[in-house]
Amino acid sequence: MDLEPDNELLCGRMLGMFSPIGASPLQRYLKDFPDIPGFFQFESMVIWDFLLTAQERLGVKGNLLEIGVYKGKSAVLAALYMRPEEWCVFVDISPMPESEAAIRKFRPANNLFLQCRSGDLMSHRELREAAGTFRWCHVDADHTGYSTMHDMEVAAYLLRESGIICIDEFFNFRYPQLTAAVYQFLAARPFDFKMLFCGANKCYQELSEFSSSPPLGRRRAAWAWCRSGACGSASVA
């Protein structure tokens, strides 16, 4: 289903009708940032609203990572849900001036914009030292199998229990290797991650609060994978 811009506005107003307290982050986004170019569908905005609001209501706290920012269409919405003290980390191989300007309008602090290849992410001390502190990771970069696997491993290293990894282009026939990587990742950790939901071009994996691996073991495994050299060919496949 493709919604026309007018319908998006209408849906935004309808969401407002049901909101018991003021404007939700999604309403604010639709009103204040309606024209950001990018690849983020309205259906996904509503799904993010549901999941990020659920995390808020369940008291799940933690940082945000987006790998693949482009002009900030999805980054801005996710950042609107984050508490001021939570960190937002945005990663792109290209400069992100538009995203940075938009996000700084409502989040003056605790933002990190890393212009680098995602395969080099773990060379950043800030991330290496932040294992287990993230609640939302969006993987939306080059969509190759290697990169997607690498980026999910980084997310597994960073994620806290009840945190969510969202992966773009799931089941898009243009990227069959990405869907294969998602299932390889899940099959390797059957009791840690479960797929919560998929739809509108994305899938959502939650780190179970009943994860069988001790957090340190899981992080060591992810870290070992990132250092194994497999991610060295990340942008090539």
We find the least distance from the C-beta atom of residue 135 to ligand SAM, in angstroms, to be 18
We find the least distance from the C-beta atom of residue 131 to ligand SAM, in angstroms, to be 20
Q: Which two tokens stand for residue 154?
A: 């980084």
Measured from the CB atom, the residue of 38 and 215 that comes closer to ligand SAM is: 38
We find the least distance from the C-beta atom of residue 145 to ligand SAM, in angstroms, to be 13
Measured from the CB atom, the residue of 28 and 117 that comes closer to ligand SAM is: 117
SS3 45: helix
Residues near ligand SAM, by CB under 6 A: 38-40, 67-70, 73-74, 91-94, 117-118, 140-142, 147, 235
We find the least distance from the C-beta atom of residue 77 to ligand SAM, in angstroms, to be 9
Which residues, in sequence order, are CB contacts of 96 under 8 Å at separation 6+?
Answer: 69, 72, 90, 113, 115
Measured from the CB atom, the residue of 19 and 115 that comes closer to ligand SAM is: 115
Q: First vs last Cα of the chain: how many Å apart?
A: 31
Measured from the CB atom, the residue of 62 and 68 that comes closer to ligand SAM is: 68
Contact 141, 168 (CB under 8 A): no
Contact 151, 118 (CB under 8 A): yes
SS3 126: helix
Measured from the CB atom, the residue of 98 and 161 that comes closer to ligand SAM is: 98
Please give the DSSP secondary-structure letter assigned to residue 194.
E
We find the least distance from the C-beta atom of residue 50 to ligand SAM, in angstroms, to be 18
The residue whose Cβ lies closest to ligand SAM is 38
Distance CA 187, CA 134 (A): 22
